[in-house]
Amino acid sequence: MTPNKSLQIGDLVTFLKADLAGKVGIVSRPILKNRTGHVLVHVDGTILGRDVSPDDVEPAGHSSEGFAQLGYLLIKLGSHVIEKKLLVYRT
């Protein structure tokens, strides 16, 4: 990651280190120069959340956007469906 740039919620990132190297995830808590953030990543049918430092990830390239964007939209759709169900049960 460039020294002065932060990664914001919804940005797509590629993991650089450890067991997730090469995997693409979605930022769920901003990653700042001096503060760790949080990334959601799909691994073996499960969505994992990982705390990451700026050195652990880089912005994802365009070739990764399709799959990660689909995952992001499915998460949004799921939360929308849950919200609608809660509204139905409240009334």
Q: What are the structural domains of the chain? A: 12-90 (2.30.30)
Over residues 14-23, the pLDDT tens digits come to: 999 878 998 8
- Is the pTM higher than 0.85? The answer reads no
Extract the runs of DSSP E, i.e. beta strands, from 5-56.
Answer: 12-15, 24-29, 37-43, 46-52
Model pLDDT, residue 24: 87
| Region of residue 62 (left: phi > 0; alpha: psi -120 to 50; beta: else) | alpha
Over residues 48-65, the pLDDT tens digits come to: 889 999 999 999 876 665
